[in-house]
Chain A
């Protein structure tokens, strides 16, 4: 049980940091910020790697493989597309 409580502490504290991180964001940055944060949520790729890398169950490995493909699309596509948006943003100035 203490493991769960510890994880809950981390979860709640990290949520507070997340709330505080974003304050005044100019409207032009709304979409890039959303896109960048979205790429970070692809962190679930680490969970996918853990599931695909075990050898206890072949079915779980295949599910893990699909999860890796999905999460990698999110991560690679997400960071690249955010960079493209921000690159354009800079040129406009």
Chain B
């Protein structure tokens, strides 16, 4: 009903003010708290949606997720903040992919879904999955589970470009043939692989920039999930984070005298190299 949409509009406004305030030292903490309030309002009002009939899974999921999130946020060392953000971000991206998968499996016969809905489902799965595995690789590199040095092989950029093209073709294919389980699973698998392959060649010292870029992706994934369930609050908040995250990524690159292209494809900035130096 209209009242839910109006509350969503309120939450959207709160998010915009929150992000604005996060950009300045004096107001940053209140900005974060405002954004949290906006999120709380958005979630509570959604529970009154008539589509929502069963509450068992919702309550259980929120309790479990809150416990894990709060525990992790309390325990993490201050020096390990970037990798913690990477993990949280990965879960957010994964959630968007799951929302799209859930919407697809909700209908008994997916061929009744409109082509445009299927495209956004495919994109949400693609971007969400890239964010998921990419964020975990970034976490691994910062924690030292995975070598902080760039992991490269010849033809890597070509291979990644090929994976990207194949995944986009599969998104289109899924829209024409949504009942084909095989296409769905191949798309899911390639998207997960693509997330890993994109972050592996990037050095550990560049991980903060990569996490910021993946944060932008998770915003985009949330926005795509908003197209899937036709929800304005998701579309707007996701787009805000997607765009703001991209600008922040750019600012962080500039602070290191680098370009984003150089960070993503330059394969440098390993543990031993100095991230501000000239390309080898």
Contacts and interface: CB of A to CB of B under 8 A. Distances in A.
Interface of A: 1, 3-4, 7, 10-12, 14-19, 21-57, 59-90, 93
B34 to A, nearest CB: 10
Given A43-B234, A83-B29, 12 more contacts: A36-B19, A38-B218, A46-B43, A50-B46, A51-B99, A54-B52, A64-B98, A70-B92, A70-B94, A73-B88, A73-B91, A90-B29
B66 A83 contact: no
Contact of A40 (B35, B46, B98, B247): B35
B238 interface: yes
A16 to B, nearest CB: 7
B226 interface: yes
B88 A77 contact: yes
A76 B32 contact: no
A42 B39 contact: yes
A71 B235 CA distance: 16
B232 interface: yes
B42 interface: yes
Contacts of A22: 19, 23, 244, 247-248, 251
A39 B74 CA distance: 15
B52 A47 contact: no
Interface stretch (B76-84, B146-154, B192-200): B76-84
B251 A44 contact: no
Nearest to B232: A10
B210 to A, nearest CB: 11
A19 B157 CA distance: 28
B88 A37 contact: no
Contact of A62 (B18, B57, B94, B246): B57
Interface size class of B (residues with CB under 8 A): 35 or more
Contact of B85 (A34, A63, A68, A89): A34
Given A17-B16, A51-B99, A70-B65, A35 B94 contact: no
Contacts of B76: 81
Contacts of A31: 81-82, 85, 208
A82 B22 CA distance: 10
A82 to B, nearest CB: 5
Interface stretch (B103-111, B158-166, B176-184, B263-271): B103-111
Contacts of B42: 43, 46
Interface in B225-277: 225-248, 251-252, 255
A63 B219 contact: no
A11 to B, nearest CB: 5
B189 interface: no
Contacts of B234: 43-44, 46-47
Contacts of A4: 116, 227
Contacts of A26: 25
A54 B96 contact: no
Contacts of B230: 3, 7
